[in-house]
Amino acid sequence: MPINVVMNQQINFEDNLFILTNMIRIIRDLCILNTAPEFFLSKTLSDLDFIDQTLGLLLTRLIGNIHLINRSEHLDNFSAVEKEYWNVLTAFMDGSGTVCAALIPDSKNKITALQDNSRLRSKAINEAYQTQTNREEDGNALVSSEEYNALLK
């Protein structure tokens, strides 16, 4: 099933983030171990691409759903997964494992592009979290800022 088909269905963020976290941890372990690059390099780069695309789609869905129950918690969890992804990308570039050492310049450029995507997503998560926090604070107020301004006119 293509990734974009998921956009029209209800998403369980916790389960998706759990699977992505486990995929990231496997790649992190690969950066340490001395495995055969001819078996794992291509698949790992493909997995990093998949994780990047999936994180992007999930974040779009999460940011777009401002009324989602436990949205702040989902943003926190997403931020933690994004941080792990960033760390594994950095470890992949700097890793001592045989697969990481086999990276060619084109692959390093790809990893750098994935890091750029991760950085942009982290910024979007922070902005969404700040917006969510402001909404929650406004929701707890007895009178919203719009109502207060209307009363003062």
pLDDT, tens digit (0-9, with 9 covering 90-100), for 47-105: 999 999 999 999 999 999 888 888 889 999 999 999 999 999 998 888 778 888 888 77
**Per-domain residue ranges of the chain:** 10-152
**Among the listed ranges 92-96, 97-101, 108-112, 147-151, which one has the minimum average pLDDT value?**
147-151
User: What is the pLDDT at residue 99?
Assistant: 86
Confidence band, pLDDT 50/70/90 cuts, at residue 147: low
The answer to whether residue 8 scores a pLDDT higher than 60 is no
Residue 84: how many other CB atoms lie within 10 Å: 18
How far the first Cα of the chain sits from its last, in Å, is 55
- Whole-structure pTM value: 0.80
